[in-house]
Amino acid sequence: MRLESTLESRCKHSVILLETGELNKYVGGVILSKEAVGRNRRTRMIFTEMLQKNGIVSSVNVSGRLHSFCESAPGEEITCQHERLRGAHAVLLQAGLPLLQVVWGYSRQNWNVLESLIQFNTDTQSRLSLSGLVSIVEPNVMLGGTLGAEMWESVFTVLHHHGVIRKGMFLKSSIVFARFEWGVKC
């Protein structure tokens, strides 16, 4: 799936899951309607909840076994704030779970928190890839309304600078991307 990272493209869709060439066997994706996302944005529903409400089960294939978001994180969604990130990640590794899902909260006041989360996740991805694990990360940078083009460019720049996203990826207010081994291919 190839979508341009332009203002027009970003305004057209509200949520996207990427299904990419070599990653097809690991990640499946679906685009939800703008209306469905609009309803959930107002209720602050987290992304995996939104998928479930729309009858979509998202999953990752790891070593021939399918892991859904919920199966991989029994009991609760792994929606970590900065202070909980390291502890939650340690719990995941200890439990041998192949799925790491982190929801990043964003506001103008905590831009430095967003940057540190990105850096921590980039380092974590490198370690996980050596173990042959697949991680899915959901950066939830939605505010109450639509982010302006200038703010999106800032978010895109930081994510790209840290190697979290690559040229050609589609950045949205809520995206799920997969990183397997050393890169993301779109």
> What does the alpha-carbon distance between residue 158 and residue 78 come to, in Å, rounded to a whole number?
23
> Of 169, 157, 172, which Cα lies nearest the Cα of 11?
172
Q: Of 41 and 31, which is predicted with more confidence?
A: 41
Question: Does the pLDDT at position 39 exceed 50?
Answer: yes
pTM given for the model: 0.22
Of residues 22 and 38, which shows the higher confidence score?
38
The one-character DSSP state at 31 is B
The vertex-85 CA angle with 83 and 90, nearest 5°, equals 125
- Please report which confidence band the pLDDT of residue 94 belongs to, taking 50, 70 and 90 as the band edges: low
pLDDT at 157: 52
Domain extents for the chain?
7-179
Mean pLDDT of 27-55: 48
pLDDT mean over 33-48: 50
